[in-house]
Structure 1
Amino acid sequence: MTDKEFLHAFETTDLSEADFNHAAHVRAGFLLIHRHGFSRALAHYCEALRALTEHFGVPEKYHETITIAYLALINEQISHDPGGNWTAFCKAHPDVFSKEALAVFYTPAQLATPQARATFILPRPGQRP
């Protein structure tokens, strides 16, 4: 699937749950940041992801803190090579594809709170793992 087709499928909830793995989350964020810049991409991404979790029948899987933190991490990595394409990004930033990438910012207990799921919480330096 081309980037354009993938992004359209993401934005219109035309992806299967099986195809929407962690790498697909990262790809959608990468493409939206390139298209809109971080601020606008964040709004588009959160809206589309909420719609997708609703479509899959698992709205409780949406996690505001994880979503925003990962997009910020993707954006930071893009800033190192703003003209790069998806393939180059994957090769240059394998750490973004780890589900543990946020472990340097948040403890599992912090991310497990209802507050973190419902609203973005900032990392607390004194409470990091």
Structure 2
Amino acid sequence: MTDEQIISEFEQGRAPGGSFHHADHIRVAFIYLSQFSVLEALQKFCSALQRFAVAQGKPHLYHETITWAYLFLIRERMMRVEQRQTWEEFAAANRDLLTWEKGKGGILGQYYQTETLTSAAARAIFLFPDKHRRVS
């Protein structure tokens, strides 16, 4: 599917291609971040994801901290390269962002305590990372 088709399906609450997994979330976020400022992309993606969750009958699955944290990680990775990447190039260079380990938060386990990510507060609002990490 093209970027435009994926965004259209997602924004209409339909699962692009019949399913919508973690890597698909990352791709949609990448598309938004390629088209909009980080704050506009964050607002658009969060709103669309909440509508999508409701349309899929799973509004309880929306998680503010996970959504924001992944968006910021994607943006950071996009900014670390000198030339604009296609989705395929970005995905190949950032496999760690595409992996989701249920209950572990994927890469977010490097930034957050499990108790933090599984809290009601983290689901409702963005919480800052609570694990220390070295910046390279």
User: Fold-level match, TM-score > 0.5?
Assistant: yes
Residue 18 of structure 1: CA displacement? 5.2
Distance 2:57 2:16 in 1: 12
Q: Distance in 2 between matches of 1:121 and 1:93?
A: 23
Q: Is the 8 A contact 1:50 1:59 kept in 2?
A: yes
**Per-residue CA shift, 1:30-61, capped at 9, x if unaligned?**
00000112110000000000000000111000
SS at match of 1:48: helix
Unaligned stretches of 5+ in structure 1? none
1:92 — aligned with what? 93
Q: How does 1:1-129 map to 2 (within 5 A)?
A: 1-15=1-15, 19-81=19-81, 82-99=83-100, 100-125=106-131
- Give per-residue Cα distances to partners, 1:44-85, cap 9 Å, x unaligned: 000000000000111000000000000011111111235100
Pairwise CA distance, 1:14 = 2.4
TM-score, structure 1 normalization: 0.91
Identity within the alignment, %: 33
Distance 1:115 1:48 in 2: 21
Report the Cα distance in structure 1 between the residues aligned to 2:94 and 2:41, rounded to whole angstroms.
Answer: 19
- What's the RMSD between the two structures over aligned residues? 1.5
23-32 or 90-99, larger mean C-alpha shift: 90-99
* 5+ long unaligned stretches in structure 2: 101-105
8 Å contact kept, 2:42–2:71:
yes
**Distance in 2 (alpha carbons) for counterparts of 1:57 and 1:16:** 16
- Compute the displacement of 1:124 (Å): 2.0
- Per-residue CA deviations over 1:75-97 (Å, capped at 9, x if unaligned) read 11111235100010011111111
Equivalent pairs counted in the alignment come to: 126
- Hey, which of these two has a bigger chunk of helix by percent? 1
Q: Which runs of 4+ in 1 moved over 4 A?
A: none
Distance 1:114 1:14 in 2: 27
